[in-house]
Amino acid sequence: MAARVIMVEPFDLVVFGATGDLSVRKLIPALYQRWAAGQIPEDARIIGVSRRKLSDDDFRALGRDALLKHVPEADRDEAKMGSFIARLSYIPADAGEDAGWPDLAASLGKPDGRIRVFYLATAPELFGPICEKLGKFGMAEGGTRLVVEKPIGKSLASARAVNEAIGQVFGEDHVYRIDHYLGKETVQNLMALRFANALFEPLWNSAHIDNVQITVAETLGVEGRAGYYDTAGALRDMVQNHILQLLCLTAMEPPTSLAADAVRDEKLKVLQALVPMRAAEFSVRGQYRAGASAGGPVAGYLEELGNPASRTETFVALRAEIANWRWAGVPFFLRTGKRLAARVSEIVVQFRAIPHSVFDAGAGAIAPNKLVVRVQPDESVKLFVMLKDPGPGGMRLQEIALNMSFAEAFGVRNPDAYERLLMDVVRGNQTLFMRRDEVEAAWRWIDPILEEWAASSEAPKSYTSGTWGPSAAIALVERAGRTWHEDED
Ligand code: BG6
């Protein structure tokens, strides 16, 4: 089925932090792609705001550069880029001063039912102050929507403070907390796979599933973000949000519908059922040292950071447990890291072994079935099954992957997560955005792990860049009598 492009209603989108990295690398290119696809109406407006004193033309030049750098050449169309850039305008304003805000309010005009979105692509310390200004200058009324990015806090207490500040001005129904993993095509496919097929759901429980593995591995290092990253670490940067969201979609009960709260209620229950972790036993922290990655030599984290004393983890592996009827006793192994051997994000559902083999020893070993949902790159769903080796020579069995590669099956460009998410905000659909209680429940589980680590005298285990992390992460899984899934492709 060809992709269906349904034009959204006219909107005004105000991007705070418009000259920053997120805006330039992700938001402007994503909006262009939707414009080029015909999803954004002619009279939509995109207004950039930041502290820098730029003119409309300066901002348009910045927008054009962003497209040249971050939109693949095949998707760049000179005429469409020109008409898209003409939608951009700019107003300087500082969250700490009143100047500029009346201009923004005047440019937007009185709320008249037109869709209005404020996207805070800024440091989280500015979320509260910006909301306050939006309230003060009368811009938060009339169904205005607010989009915020992670990190939402560094702990449960700080997340609550951020949410509280936002909540002073915007009702929860108007707040869109982005976790860009939820906008990834294959992540949504997890819901399609589970709830649009009769095949998997009856087996989706501890009676049939032996363990679940969620890996988000990157080959990149901290890429000039060491300053931020060193205050966060892999647990806050990736697990608290992206990996726990993947876990929720994998483990949640079928929601009654795809309505935002129906889905978010189910995800929340998973987070609430996570068993508090004994970090010393069930977590491994790592930190990359020099090695080779993505084809060349790379420096270690401490050298990049310029601080030999840092104990920030760039890798984490955890064994989590969900205490409910469906999942009791099934280990969920979670791992993520920078400068690993390959860039791969996937969810591996490992089924139990068959109860009894009717084959003789010559048939070979019978591997339990596995369902592998590859989020990126090469989005695919693979089902590993045992089949007979073709030809004579007796019954010999072989493990074969039934491979559904999305690029081959659909032959379409996979839209970037931000394209989907931005259009969902304009459409007013909160299903793929995190509710306040979800974010806080995730922190409630993460906080004690951070506290236990902070109290421990042990430093993160160092691992060579370009490997799969510290060997302790392998041992963590092996102690449970399992192994990490490895794909030979
Ligand atoms: C971000 C993290 O949220 O996700 C980064 O802050 C990480 O550290 C990135 O690199 C990974 O996203 P993606 O889409 O490239 O897998």
CATH number, domain with residue 361: 3.30.360.10
Predicted local distance difference test score (pLDDT) of residue 111: 77
> Of all residues in the chain, what percent carry a pLDDT higher than 90?
87
* Amino acid found at 113: G
Ligand 1 center from residue 216 Cα (angstroms): 9
189 belongs to a structural domain? yes
Q: Give yes or no: residues 258 and 335 share one domain.
A: yes
Looking from the CA of residue 375, the nearest atom of ligand 1 is: 16
CB-ligand 1 contact for 218 (6 Å cutoff): yes
258 belongs to a structural domain? yes
CB-ligand 1 contact for 237 (6 Å cutoff): yes
CATH of the domain at 90: 3.40.50.720
Using an 8 Å Cβ cutoff, are 162 and 124 in contact?
yes
**Chain segment 226-262, per-residue pLDDT in tens:** 888 999 999 999 999 999 999 999 999 999 999 999 9
Ligand 1 center from residue 229 Cα (angstroms): 11
Instruction: State mean pLDDT over 289-296.
Output: 87
CB-ligand 1 contact for 185 (6 Å cutoff): no
**Chain segment 438-456, per-residue pLDDT in tens:** 999 999 999 999 999 999 9
**Chain segment 404-432, per-residue pLDDT in tens:** 887 677 767 778 999 999 999 999 999 99
Q: Give yes or no: residues 114 and 261 share one domain.
A: no
Confidence check: pLDDT of 2 > 60: no
Looking from the CA of residue 345, the nearest atom of ligand 1 is: 16
Q: Give yes or no: residues 135 and 255 share one domain.
A: no
1 belongs to a structural domain? no
Q: Which of 390, 385, 378, 421 is nearest to 402 (CA)?
A: 385
Which band of pLDDT confidence, cut at 50, 70 and 90, is reported for residue 290?
A: very high
Predicted local distance difference test score (pLDDT) of residue 46: 98
Ligand 1 center from residue 336 Cα (angstroms): 11
Number of domains comprising the chain: 2
**Chain segment 18-73, per-residue pLDDT in tens:** 999 999 999 999 999 999 999 999 999 999 999 999 999 999 999 999 999 999 99
CB-ligand 1 contact for 424 (6 Å cutoff): no
206 belongs to a structural domain? yes
Predicted local distance difference test score (pLDDT) of residue 489: 58
176 belongs to a structural domain? no
What backbone phi and psi angles, to 5 degrees, belong to 235? -65, -45
Q: Give yes or no: residues 140 and 188 share one domain.
A: no
Q: Give yes or no: residues 212 and 325 share one domain.
A: yes
CB-ligand 1 contact for 346 (6 Å cutoff): no
CB-ligand 1 contact for 149 (6 Å cutoff): no
Mean pLDDT of the chain: 94
Q: Give yes or no: residues 237 and 92 share one domain.
A: no
Which band of pLDDT confidence, cut at 50, 70 and 90, is reported for residue 392?
A: confident
Q: Give yes or no: residues 51 and 108 share one domain.
A: yes
Q: Give yes or no: residues 141 and 210 share one domain.
A: no
Q: Give yes or no: residues 339 and 395 share one domain.
A: yes
Predicted local distance difference test score (pLDDT) of residue 59: 98
Which band of pLDDT confidence, cut at 50, 70 and 90, is reported for residue 151?
A: confident
Whole-number Å distance between alpha carbons of 279 and 346:
23
Q: Does 485 participate in catalysis according to the annotation?
A: no
426 belongs to a structural domain? no
| E runs forming strands in 352-420 | 370-376, 380-388, 397-405
75 belongs to a structural domain? yes
Which band of pLDDT confidence, cut at 50, 70 and 90, is reported for residue 488?
A: low
Predicted local distance difference test score (pLDDT) of residue 223: 83
Q: How many CB atoms lie within 10 A of CB 123?
A: 13
Catalytic residue among 174, 180, 208, 242: 242
Token representation of residue 398: 């072989």
| pTM as predicted | 0.95
Ligand 1 center from residue 305 Cα (angstroms): 18
Whole-number Å distance between alpha carbons of 277 and 397:
40
Q: Give yes or no: residues 392 and 322 share one domain.
A: yes
Ligand 1 pocket test: pick from 180, 222, 240, 315 the residue with the most ligand atoms within 8 Å of its Cβ. 180
* Of 134, 149, 164, the domain-final residue: 149
CB-ligand 1 contact for 179 (6 Å cutoff): no
370 belongs to a structural domain? yes
Confidence check: pLDDT of 209 > 70: yes
Q: Give yes or no: residues 229 and 281 share one domain.
A: yes
Q: Give yes or no: residues 250 and 337 share one domain.
A: yes
**Chain segment 305-345, per-residue pLDDT in tens:** 999 999 999 999 999 999 999 999 999 999 999 999 999 99
Domain, as residue range, for 102: 11-149
Q: In a 10 Å sphere around its CB, with 0-12 CB exposed, 13-18 middle and 19+ buried, how is residue 245 labelled?
A: buried
* Of 133, 149, 165, the domain-final residue: 149
Looking from the CA of residue 237, the nearest atom of ligand 1 is: 6
Residues 6 or more apart from 195 whose CB is under 8 A from it? 201, 254
Q: How many CB atoms lie within 10 A of CB 436?
A: 19
Whole-number Å distance between alpha carbons of 462 and 289:
6
Whole-number Å distance between alpha carbons of 45 and 17:
16
